[in-house]
Amino acid sequence: MYGKAFLYAPPMTSSRRRRPTLDDVAEAVGVSRATVSNAYNRPDQLSAQLREQILRVAGELGYPGPNPTARSLATSRTGAIAFLLDSSLSAAFSDPALSITLDALAKTVEPTGNALLLLPGHEAQEGPPASRVLAAQADIAVAYSLADGTPALEAVRARGLPLVVIDQPPLPDTARVGCDDRGGASLAARHLVELGHRRFGILAAPRLSAVTSPFHGTRERLAGYLDTLAAAGITDISVTEAPWLSASTARAAATDLLTAAVRPTALLCMSDQLAFAAIAAAHRLGLRVPADVSIVGFDDTPQAAWSEPPLTTVRQDLAGKGRVAGELVMDLLAASPVPPPVELPVSLAVRESTAAI
């Protein structure tokens, strides 16, 4: 007689070890679970010796640290700061003024365990920026020099995220840090007027229309130039738009100004990058700077001091701007009230790219 057929399944064995937990580390060190947690999340609560011992034992046991997803669910915090750019993400590495500001912000928030999440805040072909903001895992947003009415900012508002604005746009009841754009532009224009210049070219930031610009800073700088020149009775002014992150197109825009039938003797540039492009264009045309044309920038990035010739420029505290933005981020994350806007002062760094006519 044959018995019933059946399949035999041997007991399951596995060579995989159970993943060590925070409790295993606490037991091995002889401390509480909360103490081990503090070693990762609040190191300032422990002595350096105890924290080092906990991390060493954790490493020996193979414990990788708290699961970030579980931690964010438990605390309702991601530890991430969404940094919104108007330009492409590569601008964070290619634009000197942005890089300095971003570096200072990162140094301010890094000791608290926060990380930066870079997001394009402008319209792009690969998808609307608002959707990226809505999907981003972040506790707060920092907007860097965005245009008025940028959809990404509406997405920040819709999510109820705290917001810090660097430069623009100015928004009601929003933490913001910027510089005196109009005052800085006025300093630059006045300097050239005092040197005797009467024919001016303005190399403007992108998206400047005949009526207005969607960028508050561009409007302020243009107003600072034009008001100061008008007060001096100067009407011979040409304004040309040039993108500051494209050297070739910026040189082309500067070339247009410098090859006009009546060539300007002075150029006011809305950034150092535009000023460097203008110097390069002048050199290609065989013009001497400043003997044939004086050029003034805006920002005082490191290259300004060692360009050829060294650039006269409006100096703003780029690192200070990033540091203040980082402090505002930490204050808002701590549920502090929204402070009034912070405006950092500017000054004029006079170097060898300007001379009397």
Domain 22-63: CATH architecture, name and number where available: Orthogonal Bundle (1.10)
Amino acid at 42: R
pLDDT digits (tens, 9 = 90+) for 63-79: 877 665 455 445 556 78
Cis upstream peptide for 169 (omega within 30°): yes
Average pLDDT, the chain: 86
Cis upstream peptide for 309 (omega within 30°): yes
Which range is least confidently modeled, 5-19, 205-219, 313-327? 5-19
DSSP string, 294-317: EEEEEE--THHHHSSSPPEEEEE-
The whole-number pLDDT of residue 210 equals 45
Angle between helix 33-41 and 48-61 (nearest 10): 100
CB distance 181 to 217 below 8 Å: yes
Instruction: Report phi then psi at 53, rounded to 5.
Output: -65, -45
Angstrom distance (rounded) from CA 99 to CA 146: 16
Average pLDDT over residues 232-240: 95
The whole-number pLDDT of residue 33 equals 87
Q: Tokens 């999340």 correspond to what residue?
A: 41
Average pLDDT over residues 82-104: 85
Does 128 or 192 have the greater pLDDT score?
192
The whole-number pLDDT of residue 122 equals 62
Residue 319 has which token pair? 């690192």
Domain 80-179+319-344 and domain 181-316 have a common topology: yes
pTM summary value = 0.78
Which range is least confidently modeled, 102-111, 117-126, 168-177, 344-353? 117-126
Which range is least confidently modeled, 49-53, 241-245, 301-305? 241-245
Angstrom distance (rounded) from CA 30 to CA 294: 72
Q: Specify the CATH number of the domain 181-316.
A: 3.40.50.2300
Instruction: Name the band, by pLDDT with cuts 50, 70 and 90, for residue 113.
Output: confident
DSSP string, 87-151: S-TTHHHH-HHHHHHHHHHHHHHGGGT-EEEEEE-S--TTS-HHHHHHH---SEEEEESPPTT-H
Tell me the domain boundaries of the chain.
Answer: 22-63, 80-179+319-344, 181-316
The whole-number pLDDT of residue 8 equals 44
Average pLDDT over residues 87-105: 85
pLDDT digits (tens, 9 = 90+) for 30-57: 999 888 888 877 777 889 899 889 989 9
Ranges 26-35, 112-121, 130-139, 289-298, most confident: 289-298
Domain 80-179+319-344: give its CATH superfamily.
Answer: Response regulator (3.40.50.2300)
The whole-number pLDDT of residue 17 equals 63
Angstrom distance (rounded) from CA 225 to CA 223: 5
Residue 319 has pLDDT above 90, yes or no: yes
